[in-house]
Chains A and B, each alone.
Chain A
């Protein structure tokens, strides 16, 4: 047997795949041929290296893929797999979803006018005295050194408010009347809170048939900022209608009762000798008692001033107000509210 013939059989000799005759011939040649023995050793090493190679492993999920191809799972099993994912998959997914929802929630909330109002720094419209007590924790009354009329305060607010707040106001108040536009934003907030609390009519007030203008309390409690402003406007109209002018005085109580059911509010008629002086005195009183003037308008020979008074200082305010002239009040304040709204009609 030649070297070439022998080498062709070396692999089979290693695998013991030769018949007895071939094996004898190969072994006889190897005994006398060092070159073929070296060749055999090289071949043996190669086979040994090959046998030590690690086996690849099928990818994870391979069995499921195969079985899924052959036996498609019914819909309820697919749903079950979807719902009952392993925690290693589900937890990161859920955590990610929560983060996304939280970010979206914050983004949306910050974009709403209510949140912008809440974030707006408190700037006084009519500054109370420095020692005036805080009125309502959610919307505390700001403190400033000197009193000023509401229009002036609102103008200052416009200048002092952050751009976003101004922009919001400009955007949101396009349809409002000038006196409304001057009302400070934080006061609107306070009014909104107050109106929400005061949605239920006073217990002492007699039940009256609802007029078309009156609304049920429940929806009002959910009013947005715009509807709160609508209410404010409505309330002011109420105050005008409720004002005890001599000819209209007999009809006022019935109208007021209906309106008050919708928006509880105290109105007062202050008869004075010198109206301008009384207005100045009222402005001083407002600043002294920590109250806030929110609107002022002329109605013929009368001036109607809308004021928000802290509940704590309401009694003092009324006492001082009574000293300015002949005061007649209509309506009862809600003692649960932090602020009392008061429409004062000053006439000579």
Chain B
């Protein structure tokens, strides 16, 4: 179970809809890392990811009265941040950071010290680079499925695409990664 699932209790949703600031703060505290993580892996820049994650929570706050609770709060937030990132990526004027794997590495492995194996570090760097180089539509599906653990149905609902599209994008994304990571795989 993801950490946010426990927060979907009906009374919590009621407090959120009623504009309870403490309830919303609890929501942000619970989901901040996952929302930020999706944004970071999608955008590649920590500063841009923080901006996008903040914007995602602001949008969530504005949309709370319309949230009917049919999806999990976490899925709903993933949907918001994913679409936000895709929109940003689609905009031509963004400061594109397609090669932000160094930043990703720093954030992903903050405790990476001398005990971190060089081989593992190299493999993770290659993996981050491979993720960053994925096509945006495939990348978001891979992130939501393999890094965030959403089901196919949740991904389809979050991105507003067909289940078959999720399946094919995920498969192609994984195959791309496999091709780029081949030398690290057994």
Residue of A nearest to B148 (CB): A55
Binding site for A on B (CB under 8 A): 21, 24-25, 28-29, 32-37, 40-41, 46, 49-50, 53-54, 57-58, 61, 104, 107-110, 123-124, 127, 142, 145-147, 152, 167-168, 170-171, 174-175, 177-178, 181-182, 184-186
Query: Quick check: is A130 within 8 A (CB to CB) of the other chain?
Result: no
- Which of B57, B123, B175 is the one whose CB lies under 8 Å from A43? B175
Binding site for B on A (CB under 8 A): 8-12, 15, 17, 41-43, 45-47, 49-51, 53-59, 62-63, 65-67, 69-71
- Which of B29, B58, B171 is the one whose CB lies under 8 Å from A12? B171
Shortest CB distance A36–B (Å) = 13
- Which of A49, A56, A57 is the one whose CB lies under 8 Å from B181? A49
Contacts of A55 in B (CB 8 A): 33-34, 37, 108, 147
Contacts of B46 in A (CB 8 A): 59
CB of A11 within 8 A of CB of B53, answer no
CB of B178 within 8 A of CB of A42, answer yes
CB of A8 within 8 A of CB of B168, answer yes
CB of B50 within 8 A of CB of A46, answer no
CB of A59 within 8 A of CB of B50, answer yes
- CA gap between A70 and B57 in the complex, in Å: 9
Contacts of A63 in B (CB 8 A): 25, 28-29, 32
CB of A57 within 8 A of CB of B21, answer no
- CA gap between A10 and B173 in the complex, in Å: 13
- CA gap between A15 and B21 in the complex, in Å: 39
Contacts of A47 in B (CB 8 A): 146, 174
Q: Name, among A47, A58, A71, the residue most crowded by chain B CB atoms within 10 Å (CB to CB).
A: A58
Given A42-B178, A50-B146, A56-B37: A62 and B167 within 8 A (CB)?
A: no
- CA gap between A174 and B40 in the complex, in Å: 72
CB of B127 within 8 A of CB of A50, answer yes
Contacts A/B (CB < 8 Å), 21 sampled: A11-B170, A11-B174, A17-B167, A46-B185, A49-B184, A50-B127, A55-B33, A55-B37, A55-B147, A56-B49, A56-B107, A58-B33, A58-B36, A59-B50, A62-B32, A63-B25, A63-B28, A65-B54, A70-B57, A70-B58, A70-B61
> Which 6 A-B residue pairings sit nearest by Cβ, starting from the closest?
A11-B171, A58-B36, A56-B107, A50-B146, A58-B32, A46-B178
